[in-house]
Structure 1
Amino acid sequence: MSQVTIAMPKGRIFEEAAELLRKAGFQLPPEFDDSRKLIIDVPEENMRFILAKPMDVTTYVEHGVADLGIAGKDVLLEEERDVYELLDLKISKCHLAVAGLPDTVPSDVAPKIATKYPNVASTYFREQGEQVEIINLNGSIELAPMIGLAERIVDIVSTGRTLKENGLVELEHITDITSRLIVNPVSYRLKDERIDEIVQRLTAVVEEV
């Protein structure tokens, strides 16, 4: 049985994905959830897990250091990596949205949009026929309208609580987001039987939800 390396994002997606793998019958050790390690070997399943930042998962899979990966659709849309999307795991549901202060008025000049999704934001506003200036930020996107850096933001919205606590409102819904199972194209050819088995077991669990 071929060893399969899976890149997993740290945080909430990791917890939900680990639960999904266990439901699908994969024997993950108890310390899996609490580990501070960046690489976890599970010899019982002939699996290796790489714990990465969410934005890095697609890079690891594209370059073949991981055969499979679990990545949010937001990352896949933004990064546009050479990977195949195998399965919608239907976990970590949220959506991408445009938000701003409630009294935001249209600007005569190209409005500034702050986001950590510059490609997604550019494509969205281009499709709306709106010319904007994109400001790339990596954290605390909600700050931008509050300090006058940008009129609007494009960011992930889950419950909407963070927006509300910072006095912002959702202005436009861009697209729904869930986490997906992705594969390196070469790995899919070389380890197709093993990967298909993993996909089938996960599919059965996902369809029960």
Structure 2
Amino acid sequence: MKKIKIALTKGRLEKKAVEILRQIGADVSELEDKGRKLVFKGKNENYNLEFFLVKSPDVTTYVEYGAADIGIVGKDTMMEKGRSYYEVLDLNVGKCTFALAALPEFKVDKGFNRKLIATKYPNVAKEYFRKQGQDVEIIKIEGSVELAPILGLADAIVDIVETGTTLKENGLVIVDTICDISARMIVNRASMKTKKDEILKLINAISEVVDKK
């Protein structure tokens, strides 16, 4: 049984991924008692797995370059990074929405000035406005993008919206919904050939769990 290396996104998606892995009979005991370890083994009679936790943008990098066979990461990261791998499964967890949001008086086609858009996802924002046929200037923000229109740095923002509570509390409204996003399972292209049986077994088992949700 060949070992499958899995890169997991730290934080909220990590917990959801571990729960799914537990349901398919994978050994996730080391993941549940992490300590200071960086790599976690999960070998039992069902699977021979090895896990490591990284930030979401790094999941796609590890998978693309083959350091991980499989990654579990948000579709938002995949859209922004645009790397090369197979997207094999929607895990139907971590559901959010990409949205264009602004103060209520904002109109994207109002006035002659070029609109300023603040976002943590410049590539996603650029592609959205390209499809809209609108020329805007994108400002990359690392922290709370909601501040940008409030303080006059930007006219609007492109960001992930889960419940919309943060927007409402800061006086912002959704102008347009760009797309729905969720956690996805991705696979290294070479691994899909060299470890096909083991990977397909995982995909099929996880798919059954996801379909029951």
**Do the structures match in fold with TM over 0.5?**
yes
Distance 1:118 1:100 in 2: 16
Structure 1 vs Structure 2 CA RMSD: 1.2
After TM superposition, which residue ranges in structure 1, 4 or more long, deviate above 3 angstroms?
A: none
1:25 partner letter:
G
Aligned to 2:89: 87
Distance 2:190 2:51 in 1: 18
Distance 2:33 2:98 in 1: 30
Q: Is the 1:61–1:68 Cα contact (8 Å) retained in structure 2? A: yes
Q: Is the 2:27–2:43 Cα contact (8 Å) retained in structure 1? A: no
Question: Could you tell which deviates more after superposition, 104-113 or 77-86?
Answer: 104-113
Matched, 1:4 2:4: yes
Question: Residue 62 of structure 2: which of 50, 60, 63 is its match?
Answer: 60
Q: 1:160 to 1:33 in 2, by over 3 A?
A: farther
- SS of residue matched to 1:120: helix
Aligned to 1:48: 50
Q: 1:125 to 1:38 in 2, by over 3 A?
A: same
Aligned to 1:78: 80
C-alpha deviation, 1:38, in angstroms: 2.7
Distance 1:7 1:27 in 2: 15
Q: Is the 1:38–1:52 Cα contact (8 Å) retained in structure 2? A: no
Aligned to 1:37: 37
C-alpha deviation, 1:37, in angstroms: 3.1
Distance 2:73 2:2 in 1: 22
What are the superposed Cα offsets for residues 43-86 of structure 1, whole Å, 9 maximum, x if unpaired? 33421111011111101100110000011111111111011001
1:65 partner letter:
A
Q: Is the 2:26–2:42 Cα contact (8 Å) retained in structure 1? A: no
Q: Is the 1:15–1:33 Cα contact (8 Å) retained in structure 2? A: no
Matched, 1:161 2:165: yes
Tell me the matched-pair count.
208
Q: Percent identity?
A: 49
Distance 1:56 1:139 in 2: 19
- Structure 2: segments with no counterpart, 5+ residues: none
Aligned to 1:201: 205
Distance 1:150 1:26 in 2: 47
Distance 2:176 2:141 in 1: 20
- SS of residue matched to 1:75: helix
Q: Is the 1:6–1:49 Cα contact (8 Å) retained in structure 2? A: yes
Q: Is the 1:122–1:134 Cα contact (8 Å) retained in structure 2? A: yes
